[in-house]
């Protein structure tokens, strides 16, 4: 396939909007705040900043530089750098990211449901949730759980997959057109939310919790694992998408500058989103449970429900909040759809329409699994429905381990097998700000050592405390207890499917014979 057929970004602004659109997502608006709260506010943001500068930016430069130099999607560019083993890591990253995308899109489906509900009784007083132990919960808590225990989300999930297909139907051209609208709107909505939050009585007190460092908690490796995986997730690293996006850049692009701009825009957004969320929480004296989904679907919405000005304002802010989540989520999920589609097109030379149709149909089925409405835990101490429980268990492996494993492997492959200095010489040729020997040290030693440390620690903790999810068993209705008693089942499924598919894609067909070096 010639360079021209692959497409190219129309402008640098278009690329930066798309890359930051991929980076800015649910991770920024709610996961960051939920993580920060879980680890005690100030205990989180220092490890988070260290992770941003020591791991996030250097790895983003690596992923951009790789795509820019090979002008190919992730598996093929890693193939060029490190042979079959590299290619396998590339496909595995995409498969792991696909698992994340499946439930990410389910969450976006629920967001659509909340948006639709805002026109109905979502913001009314209370709603009956007969399938759960409490007969009625205050809205939007109640609305969320009654939606979850129905089949409606299947329709919403279908809609979100359809939108994804539409947005990438002509590759970077349609993505660029969409992000030019989505990303500026996201910033505007976020700024409106912050102003509303900070001008509430006591709103600014939340900031103390967010910004007072806690050095004691920082001794706990769990905080570091949380910060490292959050950085990978929020910057879209380890998904294979940044390499795909950078492969559509003109030859003279500045990878270092692009990476620094994208990460700063992303983390700036995340930071101010933290201000908005924490100020709303404090103004209404709410205790966010650690769960990220709770934060998104009923803690923050509960705050919105109490905003002054009466129902019209509540509904307006509610609609804006859910629309913000939807736009932010869509501009992230399309990056993976594009990253995987372009990898399949590059290797198997299928048509874009065919690759997208197959992927969206499979994706829809996968995401529908996370909407399964059977109530497994009527007391709601843990996840209430089957879909939610499967989501939580899958997230634990694909998010907290998968992304870090990809990060570790890509640094080792590019650092040692390929030789990172070859890459940074290429990057330096078109960059204003030059990388040097210190960058070798980061990619070859420092980053792998840090990631390895938290991974080994985390695996040891799983053995020590029992696999994640085991403790759910006590709350689950007897018919469903197997799910919590065998979290190994989810772990095994995730490993088997991702490794199997990645091996299949690597071994089938070959890249040779197709093109001269770019």
The residues of the shown chain that bind ligand TRP, judged by CB under 6 A, are 22-23, 25-28, 97, 100-101, 104, 233-234, 236, 239, 241, 332-333, 335-336
Ranges of beta strands (E only) in 30-159 are: 126-128, 136-138
Alpha helices in 199-254 (DSSP H): 205-211, 221-234, 241-246
Rounded to whole angstroms, how far apart are CA atoms 403 and 476? 30
Q: How far is the CB of 156 from ligand TRP (least distance, A)?
A: 16
Place of tokens 């499967």: 390
Query: In the 8-state DSSP scheme, what is residue 248?
Result: T
**What residues contact 137, with CB distance under 8 A and at least 6 apart?**
126, 127, 129, 145
- On the 0-12 / 13-18 / 19+ scale of CB atoms within 10 A, 217 is middle
- On the 0-12 / 13-18 / 19+ scale of CB atoms within 10 A, 340 is buried
Closer to ligand TRP at the Cβ: 280 or 325? Answer: 325
Q: How far is the CB of 270 from ligand TRP (least distance, A)?
A: 8
Closer to ligand TRP at the Cβ: 35 or 129? Answer: 35
Q: How far is the CB of 316 from ligand TRP (least distance, A)?
A: 25
Q: How far is the CB of 98 from ligand TRP (least distance, A)?
A: 8
Closer to ligand TRP at the Cβ: 96 or 377? Answer: 96
Half-sphere exposure of 511 (CA within 13 A, CB side): 23
Closer to ligand TRP at the Cβ: 278 or 284? Answer: 278
Phi and psi dihedrals of 126, rounded to 5? -145, 160
Closer to ligand TRP at the Cβ: 139 or 164? Answer: 164
Q: How far is the CB of 151 from ligand TRP (least distance, A)?
A: 24
Q: Where is 283: in which H helix or E strand?
A: helix 255-283
Handedness of CA 202, 41, 43, 207 (dihedral sign): negative
Closer to ligand TRP at the Cβ: 186 or 314? Answer: 186
Rounded to whole angstroms, how far apart are CA atoms 258 and 60? 9
Q: How far is the CB of 84 from ligand TRP (least distance, A)?
A: 25
Q: How far is the CB of 493 from ligand TRP (least distance, A)?
A: 19
CA dihedral 420, 61, 49, 271 (to 10 degrees): -170
Q: How far is the CB of 333 from ligand TRP (least distance, A)?
A: 5
Q: How far is the CB of 179 from ligand TRP (least distance, A)?
A: 13
- Bin 184: left if φ > 0, else alpha if -120 < ψ < 50, else beta: alpha
Q: How far is the CB of 20 from ligand TRP (least distance, A)?
A: 10
Pairing of strands 126-128, 136-138: antiparallel
Closer to ligand TRP at the Cβ: 143 or 494? Answer: 494
Q: How far is the CB of 108 from ligand TRP (least distance, A)?
A: 9
Closer to ligand TRP at the Cβ: 362 or 482? Answer: 362
Handedness of CA 23, 236, 170, 73 (dihedral sign): positive
Alpha helices in 437-476 (DSSP H): 437-441, 447-465
Q: How far is CA 260 from CA 256, 311, 404, in A?
A: 6, 42, 21
Closer to ligand TRP at the Cβ: 23 or 450? Answer: 23
At 236, list the tokens. Answer: 């879209």
């Amino acid at each position: 396939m010639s360079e021209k057929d692959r497409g190219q970004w129309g402008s640098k602004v278009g690329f930066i909007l798309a890359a930051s659109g991929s980076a800015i997502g649910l991770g920024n608006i709610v996961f960051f705040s939920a993580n920060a709260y879980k680890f005690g506010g100030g205990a989180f943001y220092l490890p988070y900043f260290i992770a941003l500068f020591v791991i996030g930016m250097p790895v983003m430069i690596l992923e951009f530089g790789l795509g820019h130099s090979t002008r190919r999607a992730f598996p093929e560019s890693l193939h060029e750098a490190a042979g079959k083993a590299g290619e396998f890591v590339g496909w595995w990253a995409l498969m792991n990211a696909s698992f994340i995308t499946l439930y990410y899109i389910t969450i976006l489906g629920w967001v659509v449901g909340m948006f639709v509900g805002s026109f109905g009784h979502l913001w009314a007083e209370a709603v009956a949730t007969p399938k759960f132990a409490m007969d009625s919960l205050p809205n939007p808590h109640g609305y969320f759980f009654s939606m979850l225990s129905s089949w409606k989300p299947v329709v919403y999930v279908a809609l979100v997959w359809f939108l994804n297909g539409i947005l990438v139907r002509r590759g970077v051209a349609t993505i660029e057109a969409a992000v030019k609208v989505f990303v500026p709107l996201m910033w505007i909505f976020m700024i409106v939310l912050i102003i509303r939050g900070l001008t509430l009585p006591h709103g600014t007190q939340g900031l103390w919790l967010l910004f007072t460092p806690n050095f004691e908690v920082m001794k706990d490796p769990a905080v570091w694992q949380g910060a490292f995986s959050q950085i990978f997730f929020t910057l879209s690293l380890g998904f294979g998408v940044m390499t795909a996006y950078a492969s559509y850049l003109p030859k003279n692009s500045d990878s270092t500058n692009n990476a620094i701009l994208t990460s700063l825009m992303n983390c700036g957004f995340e930071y101010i989103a933290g201000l908005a969320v924490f100020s709303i929480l404090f103004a209404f004296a709410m205790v966010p449970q650690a769960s990220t989904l709770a934060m998104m679907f009923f803690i923050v919405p509960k705050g919105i429900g109490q905003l002054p000005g009466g129902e019209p304002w509540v509904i307006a802010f509610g609609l804006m909040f859910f629309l913000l989540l939807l736009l932010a989520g869509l501009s992230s999920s399309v990056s993976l759809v594009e990253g995987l589609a372009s990898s399949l097109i590059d290797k198997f030379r299928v048509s874009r329409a065919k690759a997208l149709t197959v992927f969206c149909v499979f994706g829809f089925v996968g995401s529908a699994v996370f909407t399964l409405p059977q109530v497994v835990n009527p007391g709601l101490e843990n996840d209430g429905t089957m879909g939610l429980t499967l989501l939580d268990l899958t997230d634990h492996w694909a998010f907290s381990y998968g992304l870090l494993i990809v990060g570790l492997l890509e640094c080792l492959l590019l650092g040692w097998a390929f030789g990172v200095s070859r890459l940074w010489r290429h990057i330096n040729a078109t960059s204003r700000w030059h990388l040097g020997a210190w960058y070798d040290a980061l990619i070859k030693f420092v980053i792998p050592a840090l990631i390895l440390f938290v991974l080994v620690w985390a695996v040891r903790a799983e053995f020590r405390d029992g696999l994640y999810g085991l403790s759910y068993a006590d709350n689950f209705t007897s018919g469903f207890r197997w799910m919590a008693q065998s979290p190994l089942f989810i772990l095994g499924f995730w490993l088997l499917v991702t490794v199997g598919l990645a091996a299949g894609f690597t071994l089938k067909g070959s890249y040779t014979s197709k093109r001269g070096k770019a």
